[in-house]
Structure 1
């Protein structure tokens, strides 16, 4: 069975589920096998949560995954938006190159980012007049 880092409930459950699902599907695992194997990827609070579920509680991995995400929603990483990019500003002492690198790391976390919104946010946040 493929090795996946164990989930303890403190990190984003969606990230863990996607990593687990991808690894298992890569090896041709069925939905039924996903349900049976997933508990081996849990530890700590997540394992405790699982152990309190009623036997035969879930009918599909999707249902199981949805329940896990709901239960550990407070650990989910907040979704970035184009609006959140508008709040980024080049800091005092930060080079333009460093700012652009930081901006790009944030922009990669925005799903379906419109290129014109990204460009506008980058230009608004940069201090360099030459860059604008």
Structure 2
């Protein structure tokens, strides 16, 4: 709309409908002819009509409500946290750091952050990536050991299946 600054209300009111789609276009098409006096009032009417469908703005406080689920990996939680954090305008890094540490369920992760003295958000994210990488490597090793153990001792597997 910056390109149209200084343009007459009449032109704006005639050009604007070409930008509308879906429900907004339906609403506009039901306006009575000549019911729009100026573009400012038209904009206010439009905003009032669609106010309830507006998404609330994300804030640092909304990040504080995020919690890692019982069966949710740290990787999934950090990914969700990052997606939400990107929607918060002018996010204070210390608030984000606090929210991430508060929401993370793993006390081992929080302990590793404290031991490594990670305070900045960038350091915390790098630390989270390292922790996740170690977690995934250990899980893969455990899985590999279990498979190897089952291959060496098939009778134990059968007994476990019967139990």
TM-score interval, normalised by the smaller of the two chains: 0.5 to 0.7
In the alignment, structure 1 residue 88 sits paired with structure 2 residue 93? no
Aligned residue for 2:91, secondary structure, equals coil
In the alignment, structure 1 residue 69 sits paired with structure 2 residue 47? yes
The residue that corresponds to 1:55 in the other structure is 34
**For the residues of structure 2 that align with 1:53 and 1:123, how far apart are their CA atoms?**
55
| Consecutive unaligned residues in structure 2, runs of 5 or more | 111-163
Displacement of 1:43 in angstroms is: 4.3
**For the residues of structure 2 that align with 1:90 and 1:131, how far apart are their CA atoms?**
12
What is the TM-score when the length of structure 2 is the normalising length? 0.54
The residue that corresponds to 2:24 in the other structure is 46
Of 87, 97, 102 in structure 2, the residue corresponding to residue 109 of structure 1 is: 87
- CA deviations on 1:1-49 (whole Å, 9 max, x unpaired) are xxxxxxxxxxxxxxxxxxxx4xxx5xx4454454322212334542343
**For the residues of structure 1 that align with 2:58 and 2:66, how far apart are their CA atoms?**
12
- 1:11-50 to 2 correspondence within 5 Å? 21=1, 28-30=3-5, 31-32=7-8, 33-50=11-28
What is the TM-score when the length of structure 1 is the normalising length? 0.64
**For the residues of structure 2 that align with 1:82 and 1:65, how far apart are their CA atoms?**
30
**For the residues of structure 2 that align with 1:131 and 1:54, how far apart are their CA atoms?**
63
Q: Which has the higher helix share?
A: 2
Aligned residue for 1:110, secondary structure, equals coil
In the alignment, structure 1 residue 123 sits paired with structure 2 residue 101? yes
Cα distance change of structure 1 residues 115 and 34 upon mapping to structure 2, 3 Å threshold: farther
Aligned CA-pair RMSD? 2.4
Displacement of 1:85 in angstroms is: 1.1
Q: Larger RCO: Structure 1 or Structure 2 (Cα < 8 Å, ≥ 6 residues apart)?
A: 1
* Number of residue-to-residue matches in the alignment: 106
